[in-house]
Structure 1
Amino acid sequence: MGARRLLPRNVIVLSWVSFFQDAASELLYPVLPLFLTVTLGAPASVVGLVEGVAEGTASVGKAVSGRLADRFRRRPLIAAGYGVSSVAKPLIGLASGWPVVLGARFIDRVGKGLRTSPRDALIAAETPPAMRGRAFGLHRAADTAGAVVGPLLGLALYELLDHRLRPLFFVAAIPAVVSVALIALVREHPPPPGAARPPGVPLRRLPRPYARVVAFLALFGLANFSDALLILRAHALGLGFVGIVTAYALYNAVYAALSYPAGVVSDRLPRRLVFAVGLAAFAVAYLGLGLAGESTWVWPLFAVYGAYTALTDGVGRAWVANLLPPGALGTGLGLYQGVAGACALTAGIWAGLAWGGTGRVPLLVSGAIVTVLAATLALGGRRLER
């Protein structure tokens, strides 16, 4: 707790903002694939399309908002992004066909794209470089704690509401609105009166080590498809709604528990090595889910998958931020997030089309590719940072 007290106030406040917003989002996330395929009768390829377009939309927004974050005040961008996402969630509950869900997810991800890069830039700018692993780790831990509370709340409401899915989309608006209200506690120092607005940083002037690291992470992104398809795999292995939500809550609990320790470790060891261990966990989870023949394997493999996310999400942001000059934090983090999202779009589409009846093929292909990437980063990753 002592280390956490040393972190800036805004890091703490933004962690709570993300907690409530993610509680709202993750209340719905394990429900959405079942809502699409069972309630609305859409095929698995539509799940991949919806989530791919959603992440692709967010990726473009992150790149644009990152450049804005280096020129304008960041708190208004953060507030607008969370506000847009809060409005979009209940729209899904009104859907009578999957195109409406696609439109609502598009709106939701516009909000995510608008807020993510300014928020991450604000966290990085206010935290000393040697503590950024802790700062992003704490933020990801709080964010993911919301992702534990959300699915469990959704499960309880599912039972109370006689197994109806639609009302859950309206309930999710409540914690989302709380998260928007908390942004009022963020304190951002305005520029001095009459100060010139900072010019945008040309992309060609971003450091070469940054470009090499982002290129490597893009390769990984092409193999990292939406978690919604992992939920479909768990369903194909025999888990029902209750089992899926509980397994997803387990994934998020492991993610939340390990995020801050992973950030602390990444402040002491090379972040590329921590990230490489995370990629190894990813490969184990994907290969295991591809090879599994019964539902009991879902539980340990989702836990391993939670470890992967904890070892890469906040660590990756801190890794990238430390490769950037102070005046390019928004631009660089936004471009990184944008590239990752564009790769997620590609991965979601190809995996959804290749899914078939069970999803074994894309899981095994991605797992094999990431095994190679993990070994490459662990053994030769130093060259990326030169």
Structure 2
Amino acid sequence: MSLSESPFDSPHANGPLPPERAALPRNVKLLGWASLLNDTASEMVFPLLPVFLARIVGAGTIELGLLEGIAESVASLLKLWSGGRSDRSPRRKQYVVVGYLLATISRPLIALATAPWHVIAARTADRVGKGIRTAPRDAMIADSTAPAQRGRAFGFHRAMDHLGAVLGPAAAWAFLWQRPDDLPMLFVLTAIPGAVVVALLMFGLRETARHEAGREAFSLTLVPFDRRFRVYLAALALFTLGNTSDLFLVKRALDLELSELWIPVLWGGLHVVKSIGNAMSGRAVDRFGPKAMILAGWVVYAIFYTAFAFVTTLGELIVALVGYGVFYALTEPAEKTLVANLVAKERTGLAFGWYNFAIAVTTLPGNILFGVLYEHYGAAVAFGWGAVMAAAAAALLVAVRGTRPAVGN
């Protein structure tokens, strides 16, 4: 079987396996391994950025919100463009490879920073790479899988991504144990797994046979999509206004005067929950439907985001982090599965681009607002705001009907 084929197209001794039982396509597995290695590199840097900003360049909470708001907004805006362009091109692979290459180059540059804007520039370049690759990559996953496999495919991919986010902090912890004052060298070492990712994709990833370049003129409008998809995007945007960067959870841990050495450990533990949860929840998405899983996840988010405002001990923080990881497990494969279910397959790339754009338009104001609320009014107001936005988004998502995939999609 070639990499461009899906296993549910393969012959079987007693006939083809049903999609829900068939093995995941090789392209899905390859992209999963790429995400694992890339996130290993990324998470050697990401959870330590608040420490680096404060100790090396003297930045505070508002700068942290600005850093993540700009970086993630730029990334998500690019996902709209790259997703739409990949629908018009027979080669989605080029966007994926270039995106990972840019991230590999930009992360080590943070080591050279001497001012906050240096970190913002390098982090933004890293996220530009993510913006270029993400929508085409997700479209390749959707192209490669049957509708009954989508939850499992996206769950596997997110599980591998989060497993990398466990290995990254573990590597950072081991390095800092030996060299606690050498954050710049740690950032430089991220080039190693990044280079492996680029080589793996250049020589292993294949275009999916299911993807054919569209013949329509290039357009980024929402006109081709129906009301259900638009309401779903509105609910996501509303939720994101209160769902700010996870770096604020690191800030909350620092408020409890935990040692910096424990930050990578807690960060890695959070991603253990995310990885195991995503691996388990993918099949549940295929069974119960993505909408029900998203609603459940947003309720869990509201509960545990509120809890973060009131934790006072390490034990309470760990409980809140576990609950927060469950939210990710419930929603991550479900959100992307719902995107693929609601749109025609020839517009999958653009749909994933709009999915990320909906998140982008509220990421920057959400992070800045959260940072201001946290710094001037305290954790209770800031985390309470996130819980309220989650409840409002859940109420809007209830209005989306018919979320199972259409025949032929």
Q: For the superposition of Structure 1 and Structure 2, which TM-score range results when normalised by the shorter chain? A: over 0.9
Kindly indicate whether the alpha-carbon contact (under 8 Å) linking 2:231 and 2:396 is maintained by their aligned counterparts in 1: no
Give the length in aligned residue pairs.
382
Return the match for 2:349 from 304, 308, 330: 330
Distance 1:190 1:120 in 2: 15
Partner AA of 1:102 in structure 2: I
User: Which stretches in structure 2 are left out of the alignment for 5+ residues?
Assistant: 1-16, 405-409
The 8 Å contact of residues 66 and 332 in structure 1, kept in 2 or not, is answered as yes
Q: 5 Å matches for 1:129-148?
A: 129-148=147-166
Query: Which of the numbers 75, 79, 94 marks the counterpart of 1:62?
Result: 79
Q: Mark the CA change 1:67 to 1:196 in structure 2 (over 3 Å): closer, same or farther.
A: closer
> What is the distance in 2 between the residues matched to 1:114 and 1:200?
17
Return the match for 1:370 from 390, 399, 402.
Answer: 390
What is residue 69 of structure 2 aligned with on the other side?
Answer: 52
Q: Which moved more, 1:183-192 or 1:135-144?
A: 183-192
Q: CA deviation at 1:351?
A: 0.8
Contact 1:213–1:385 (8 Å) recurs in 2: no
Tell me how far apart the structure 1 counterparts of residues 84 and 392 of structure 2 sit (CA, whole Å). Answer: 33
Partner of 2:379: 359
CA distance in 1, matches of 2:165, 2:372: 28
Match of 1:154 among 129, 154, 172: 172
Corresponding residue SS for 1:225:
coil
What is residue 103 of structure 2 aligned with on the other side?
Answer: 85
| Separation in structure 1 between the aligned mates of residue 162 and residue 289 of structure 2, nearest angstrom | 24
Residue 34 of structure 1: which of 51, 59, 76 is its match? 51
Q: CA deviation at 1:96?
A: 0.6
Indicate the residue corresponding to 1:292 in structure 2.
Answer: 311
Moved more, 338-347 or 299-308: 338-347
For residue 381 of structure 1, report the CA deviation from its aligned partner.
Answer: 4.4
1:282 aligns with 2:301: yes
Structure 2: how far apart are the matches of 1:68 and 1:220?
A: 27
Deviation at 1:269, TM superposition (A): 0.6
| C-alpha spacing 1:126/1:198, structure 2 compared with 1 (3 Å) | farther
Deviation at 1:210, TM superposition (A): 0.9
Alignment-mate amino acid for residue 138 of structure 2 = D
Unpaired segments ≥5 residues, structure 1: none
Partners in 1 of 2:257 and 2:295 — Cα distance? Answer: 32
Question: Could you tell me the percent identity over the aligned residues?
Answer: 36
Structure 1 residues 196 and 329, CA gap change in structure 2 (3 angstroms)? closer
Aligned to 2:63, the other structure's residue is in SS state helix
Instruction: Return 158-167 or 35-44, whichever deviates more.
Output: 158-167
d(CA) in 1 for partners of 2:384 and 2:211?
A: 55
Deviations 1:118-177 (A, max 9, x none): 000010011111111000000000111000000011010011223321111101111111
Structure 2 CA distance for aligned equivalents of residues 25 and 111 of structure 1 = 12
Task: Tell me the C-alpha RMSD between the 2 structures.
Answer: 2.2
**Relative to structure 1, is the Cα distance of residues 240 and 219 closer, same or farther in structure 2, using a 3 angstrom cutoff?**
same
**What residue number does 2:189 align with?**
171
Give the alignment's TM-score, normalised by structure 1. Answer: 0.94
Q: Do 1:213 and 1:384's aligned partners in 2 also have CA atoms closer than 8 Å?
A: no
- Looking at structure 2, the residues matched to 320 and 147 of structure 1 have their Cα atoms a distance apart, in angstroms, of 25
Q: What one-letter code is carried by the residue in structure 2 that aligns with 1:227?
A: D
1:205 aligns with 2:224: yes
Does 2:333 align with 1:317?
Answer: no
Residues in 1 aligned to 2:107 and 2:245: alpha-carbon distance in whole angstroms = 19
The Cα of 1:198 is off from its aligned counterpart by: 5.2
Counterpart of 2:78, as a letter, is G
8 Å CA contact 1:24, 1:176 repeated in 2: yes
Give a deviation string over 1:326-357, Cα, whole Å, max 9, x none. 11000011111121122212211111122217
User: CA offset at residue 207 of structure 1?
Assistant: 2.0
Letter in 1 for 2:199: A
Displacement of 1:238 after TM fit?
2.2
Instruction: Report SS of the residue matched to 1:238.
Output: coil
